[in-house]
Chains A and B, each alone.
Chain A
Amino acid sequence: MTETLPRAGAGDPVVGRPIDRVDGPAKTTGAAVYSAEVAYPDLAYATLVPATISRGRITSIDTAAATAVRGVITVLTHENAPELKPPQPFNPFNFATFAAGTQVNYLKTDEIFWDGQPVALVVAETLEAAHEAAALVRVAYEERPSAVDFAAEEGNAQPQKANMVLPSGAKKGDAEAAFAASPVKVDLRFTTPPHNHNAIEPHATTAVWDGNRLTVHDSTQSIDWLRTHLALRFDVQPANVRVVSTYVGGGFGGKSVVWAGTILTALAARAIDRPVRMMLTREAVYHTVGARGAATQRVALGAGEDGRLTSLIHTTVARTSRVGGLPETLTSPSRHLYATPTMLLQQHLVEMDLIPPSPMRTPSEGIGSFALESAIDELAYQVGMDPIRFRMLNEPATNPVDGKAFSRRWLPEAYALGAEQFGWSERTPEPGSMRDGRWLVGMGVATAFHPAQQMAANVTVRLSVDGSVVVRCAFQEIGVGAATVQAQIAADALGVPFENVRVEYGDSDLPSSAAAIGSVQTATVANSLLEGCEKLKKRLRSLARRHGTTGQSHGETLARAGLPSLEVAIGSDTRVGKVTGQVKFFTRFLREQRRWMKAAYGAHFCEVRIDQDTGEVRVARWTGVFDFGRVINTKTATSQLRGGIIAGIGMALGEETLVDPRNGRIMNPSLAEYHLPVQADIPQIEVMCLDEPDPTMPLGLTGIGEVGPTGVAAAIANAVHHATGKRIRDLPLTLDKLL
């Protein structure tokens, strides 16, 4: 995709400035074309028919009435769907296998693994006809007993398998014995409900076949995985699959792997040999896109009378499915946040007949931090110490789980600045001691934390004789300003004005990039882009020497050399190039992994007000101070962090997917009944960034995509305790729990 960049002040470096997003005008004027808006002649529309049982087999499927609806082209079921290869099993050393949301081969099986699994696909001339017909498909099932009630299944959990990417446990000394011997202790159980994705743009795909070549316009966080995955499923060469993803209306993990909507749109297009479009209904997002399952966590902390931790125990139970799923590493914050001589971390999973879990808005640290950061606050109260002082007392010098060095850690500075900005000193520590009329007032803090990683990206950088620069890389713009920050980075690296840089992204025809997941994208692309810019400058310097233009502009050098442009490439997408890239990536990954603990940190401060009669909780103000290395764009960074805090407020106060424990059916698949925060729930949010570069990361930056929501629910629960004296360890924190 191509963008024309707005003018910025010429000459000065642009990294660190609040540059407007280059895609802003297109989005605000409606000119931006999303995946469900790409025009094709002869376009057909598809919609899914969901299973209404959780486990069993289809005994018959009657599509006669559906097929008879005027405008219906075909109804695909397991009885007539075209060929579709099964997904590859999960392999942690092959990122392409991450792409399968589930092992179920849609419409190639009569077996049902979750309520909502697609059992048919209606394709019609209009969306309305497709929807009308979908309601007329009659399916008969042979039901089998299913495991859908987490509370009932929890006891059947098994230890979670670890792998290189997702550790599952840790042991340091004898934590249970140390806990038993601790003079001060808390031993707490936390529960969190299932959560579902609600990106403002539901998953959307427009698919077109031309012979054996497939083009999909798809709302995705992972262009490369999607391309590889579709090639595998449709048995064509990856080079024959083009994925275009110009704009994505929010990802949050829900578009990181491939779900039924994308695959079945491509299948429908092949079946009728016409372009087909499908945008999932909100309900279908709940039915067919994995998200977060329910979890319970035990956090047991022991301390000496002096407040120093003696033991940290964090054990968790979450769910997976019988047909795949990417589990969370819920104990992640406990591996890193506090100095402790003993530690025991264990994770367990139970298989259930529900849609496979999948990354969702800060997997691992999102709800893991709720348990740990609530428990820390409780222990601070047991010790009789201010919760910030307690944290500073237990601040580690090296990574607690393995003694690795921190690449950078300015958490105490974040707390110090936040306390001053927020006015923490005005807080009286006694619970229930602050009031304002009918409102009980409470203030709470919690730590934000998300590990920093990078993956691999290929880029090309081209400089033209007119001084313009084109950066090409198939990264994903999921709404965070990705193209803008890379243009800033290239402009400074090459010493050209910001408006001279154009970034092409969002198309698998471009050099391949990693997925926009795990807060890795900015650092990943920046790393290759910086390398490319250096390579380009080296070539320019040598040209300048040869042509006597040293000290003159890049354009002069090219003109003198008689070159219209000069392009360099980092990485290659040939078969050999991909393998080489993968080896290079894993080598660096393992080396870095052994050497450094890298992360983004933050200190959340919030004030809540609770109606003394009804228990309604209102978040009154928020200050978040973050330490995530170098800030590339203060505007997009603070916007993303603010959004993350809002997401955290949603998780704390409202969000809960109601999975009926009697049959595994999701009963609130809508924005009316799944309670995300509305504008009136959100206070003024002050976001501050320390802007201290990380010496081990490209440009000193770490990712910021996911650190924002971590710790938010704990900060609110801690503030609620301060206001009321009540500890709520069960999310969401609804008013009935405070009556």
Chain B
Amino acid sequence: MKSFSYVAVSDVEDAVRAIAAEPNAKFLGGGTNLVDLMRENVERPDVLVDITRLPLNGIEELPDSGIRIGALVRNSELAAHPVIRTRYPMLSQAILHGASAQLRNMATVGGNLMQRTRCLYFYDSASPCNKREQGSGCTAIGGFTRGHAILGASEHCIATHPSDMAVALVALDAVVEVRSEHGTRRIPLADFHRLPGSTPHIETELAPDELITAVEVPGVPVAAMSRYRKVRDRASYAFALVSVAAAMEVRDGRVSAVRLALGGVAPKPWRAHEAEEALLGAPATEESFGRAADAALASAVGQGDNDFKIDLARRTLVATLRRLLTEGSAA
């Protein structure tokens, strides 16, 4: 790990001033990913601005029956919150399927959104990687791609976004509130993470001088009937091969509202709009679920090792909708 300076700030103004003043500074939240990457010499900041003392750790209910989550709320606290558990079960479940209890106790909501891919080649500083060094090439292509994208990848980068929490949030139309010296702006989570295209080193819309202050989730009635399903290579403490966040309401045998998103398959938490469109108004049957899954994966492309994920994603999406119908939200 490279030597760095450390400053701790106690209000948001100081935080954004500190980050703007230093070209190679990073915010330190829970540190569960950043410190790891610093040890691997992937992240090499000169300054760490510790934001854990900022007053951004509240969870407030909003008038539209939505919720505002401070950027520093710990993952475990959010997952356990009664409002999250009852109104957005898939969000609570998604968080609890991520990492380990110890990591969730440290990790923050803002940090969870900012975590970086676990691509094996991104983590290995001896392997060329367009994310680490623009234009150096992508070693993952033609390498071990079990964890890599089948949707939204480019010839420059095939990495996946690793978050579980963000998959549920993107299905809920969450909005990210960010702050800089120039003021506050709101970015829909669906637009917050970028597809790699030819610039995989730019991963989000967050400017270098901006701080995530909160995530707002609107009232989404259908989300009360939702589940998160994560498929991985062991029972716990592994990133998703495929995950599905699904919310569905059925009236008179037909789907009257639906939210679907996929994780582990794309460079960003992947909202499956095509699948939602295919399902809305359709009978809540295995056939409809299959058509929705086909729509979600119509443009999927495998890289070799991960070809199976196209089939797995389809099966998992169908199975999750089926279980939602038969078993409801119970985890």
Binding site for B on A (CB under 8 A): 52, 69-70, 128, 131-132, 135, 438, 613-616, 618, 653-654, 658, 660, 662, 665, 667-668, 672-673, 675, 677-681, 734-736, 739
Contact = CB atoms under 8 A, between A and B. Distances in A.
A64 to B, nearest CB: 16
B63 interface: no
Q: Identify whether the interface residues of A are mostly helix, strand, loop, or mixed.
A: loop
Contacts, number: 77
B265 to A, nearest CB: 14
A736 B237 CA distance: 19
Interface stretch (B50-58, B83-91, B117-125, B276-284): B117-125
A128 B124 CA distance: 19
Nearest to A658: B144
Q: Identify whether the interface residues of B are mostly helix, strand, loop, or mixed.
A: loop
B234 A132 contact: no
Given A52-B126, A735-B312, A739-B308, A681 B121 contact: no
Given A667-B143, A680-B234, 18 more contacts: A69-B3, A128-B1, A131-B39, A438-B319, A613-B318, A653-B234, A665-B124, A667-B121, A667-B127, A672-B237, A673-B118, A675-B238, A678-B237, A680-B236, A735-B231, A736-B308, A739-B312, A739-B315
15 contacts: A70-B3, A132-B3, A613-B316, A614-B315, A614-B319, A653-B234, A654-B233, A660-B143, A662-B143, A667-B120, A667-B127, A678-B234, A734-B233, A735-B233, A739-B315
A665 B234 contact: no
Contacts of B3: 69-70, 128, 132
A452 B181 CA distance: 72
Nearest to A134: B41
10 A-B pairs with the lowest CB-CB distances in the bound complex, closest first: A680-B235, A613-B319, A736-B308, A680-B236, A667-B120, A52-B126, A681-B235, A613-B315, A135-B41, A678-B236
Nearest to B147: A673
A739 B319 CA distance: 14
Interface in B302-331: 308, 311-312, 315-316, 318-319
A667 B235 contact: no
A739 B231 CA distance: 13
Interface of B: 1-3, 39, 41, 118, 120-121, 124-127, 142-144, 231, 233-238, 241, 308, 311-312, 315-316, 318-319
A736 B234 contact: no
A622 to B, nearest CB: 15
Contacts of B312: 614-615, 735-736, 739
A215 B236 CA distance: 42
B327 to A, nearest CB: 10
B242 to A, nearest CB: 8
B144 A665 contact: no
B231 A132 contact: no
Nearest to B316: A614
B142 A662 contact: yes
Contacts of A680: 234-236
Contacts of A613: 315-316, 318-319
B120 A658 contact: yes
Contacts of B241: 735
B231 A618 contact: no
Contacts of B143: 660, 662, 667
Contacts of A673: 118, 120
A654 B316 contact: no
